[in-house]
């Protein structure tokens, strides 16, 4: 944990993601962690927990701040995946796309010393170049469905994304020698990882998103086939519209105008309902949060590039080139 995190106020030993707000206003991901901590305590005492309590938590209102939904008109109601009866729904397996950087398609950042880091805004190793973009804190809360929905502590989460211009380090020609916006964190006792990153741009053919893989532990990241989950975070349209109006995101607004979650070749199966993040903040810095329930008894099906569809998210083609005006 970075020094900036340790200086922040905590509740029950966990860092508050929104230190300026009350404990009850820390967002759904934090609330779920609190619920499961209490659930384990009740189980030790032999007291059952009503399923309705979890259902109520999963369908509650979004966090305070400028939380936004993909529709662009109303706030996102949940960053977790919960079914009607209150049981957690496993986050959908998704493609790792053509640019994973995990060794499954050429480049492998996971074999490089220094990849385990909280701040992924800059390259490490031979370069210290910082990616362009608006600051964004990414918070993922990993839950163990087989463990009764308890936080999955000690899991390694590998995150990667494009920069403000839609470029992927290690693949796009202009940034092929960079490895920024890629990194690994290990979940804490609350199942949480936090990355200091940058709001990604929107390139042609794909809804704005962030990739991630979950591994059983840090030692497992040496082989991409060890991943127990490969999925993506979908970003709400309201926040995207605001960010993409900035000069640093040239081309993103136009690309986004041609897309919807329903027509995206990854999120289109269900409109991204289980992967739509809650977002708070403004252009001085955003917080993006998503709860990631994983069922370790199911066989992972993600990781391969999708078939069909246009743009860089498709099964082939070239890494996205920097967009041009017009």
Judged against a pLDDT cut of 90, whether residue 2 lies above it is answered with: no
CB atoms within 10 A of CB 20: 9
pLDDT recorded at residue 303: 73
Nearest to 90 by CA among 307, 280, 301: 301
Judged against a pLDDT cut of 90, whether residue 11 lies above it is answered with: no
pLDDT recorded at residue 77: 32
In angstroms, the CA 139 to CA 135 distance is: 13
CATH architecture of 19-294: Sandwich (2.60)
pLDDT recorded at residue 87: 82
Angle at 48 between CA 46 and CA 53, to 5 degrees: 150
The stretch 28-39 carries a mean pLDDT of: 50
pLDDT in tens, 151-188: 999 999 999 999 999 999 999 999 999 999 999 999 99
Answering whether pTM is above 0.85, one says no
pLDDT in tens, 222-244: 999 999 999 999 999 999 999 99
DSSP string, 78-143: -SS-B-TTSPBPPPPP----S---BSTTS-BGGGSTT-B-SB-SB--SS--PBPPS-EEEEEEEEE
In angstroms, the CA 281 to CA 266 distance is: 26
pLDDT in tens, 76-115: 333 444 433 348 999 999 999 999 999 999 999 999 999 9
The stretch 121-148 carries a mean pLDDT of: 97
User: Where do the structural domains in the chain lie, given as residue ranges?
Assistant: 19-294
Mean pLDDT of the chain: 79
CB atoms within 10 A of CB 292: 27
DSSP string, 195-233: EEEE-----TTS-SEEEEEEESSGGGGGSGGG-SEEEEE
pLDDT in tens, 274-310: 999 999 999 999 999 999 999 999 999 887 654 433 3
Question: 167: phi > 0 → left, psi -120 to 50 → alpha, else beta; which?
Answer: beta
* Confidence band of 61 (pLDDT split at 50, 70, 90): very low
Judged against a pLDDT cut of 60, whether residue 131 lies above it is answered with: yes
């Amino acid at each position: 944990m970075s020094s900036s995190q340790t200086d922040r106020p905590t509740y029950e030993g966990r860092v508050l993601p929104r230190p300026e707000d009350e404990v009850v206003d820390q967002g759904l991901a934090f609330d779920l962690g609190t619920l499961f901590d209490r659930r384990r305590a009740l189980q030790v005492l032999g007291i059952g927990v009503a399923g309705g309590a979890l259902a109520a938590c999963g369908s509650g209102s979004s966090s305070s701040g400028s939380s936004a939904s993909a529709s662009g008109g109303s706030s996102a109601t949940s960053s977790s995946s919960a079914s009607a009866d209150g049981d957690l729904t496993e986050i959908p397996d998704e493609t790792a796309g053509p640019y994973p950087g995990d060794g499954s398609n050429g480049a492998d950042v996971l074999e490089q010393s220094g990849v385990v880091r909280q701040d992924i805004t800059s390259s490490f190793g031979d370069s210290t170049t910082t990616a362009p973009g608006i600051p964004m804190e990414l918070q993922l809360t990993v839950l163990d469905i087989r463990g009764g929905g308890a936080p999955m502590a000690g899991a390694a989460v590998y995150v990667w994304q494009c920069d403000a211009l839609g470029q992927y380090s290690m693949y796009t020609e202009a940034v092929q020698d960079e490895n920024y916006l890629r990194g690994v964190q290990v979940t804490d006792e609350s199942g949480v990882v936090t990355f200091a990153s940058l709001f990604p741009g929107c390139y042609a053919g794909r809804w704005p998103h962030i990739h991630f893989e979950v591994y059983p532990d840090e030692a497992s990241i040496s082989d991409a086939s060890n991943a127990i989950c490969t999925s993506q975070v979908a970003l709400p349209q309201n926040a995207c519209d605001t960010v993409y109006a900035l000069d640093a995101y040239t081309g993103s607004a136009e690309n986004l105008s041609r897309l919807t979650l329903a027509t995206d070749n990854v999120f289109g199966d269900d409109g991204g309902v289980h992967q739509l993040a809650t977002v708070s903040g403004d252009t001085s810095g955003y917080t993006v949060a998503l709860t990631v329930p994983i069922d370790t008894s199911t066989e992972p099906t993600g990781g391969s590039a999708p078939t069909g569809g246009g743009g860089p998210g498709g099964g082939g083609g070239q890494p996205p080139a920097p967009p041009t005006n017009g």
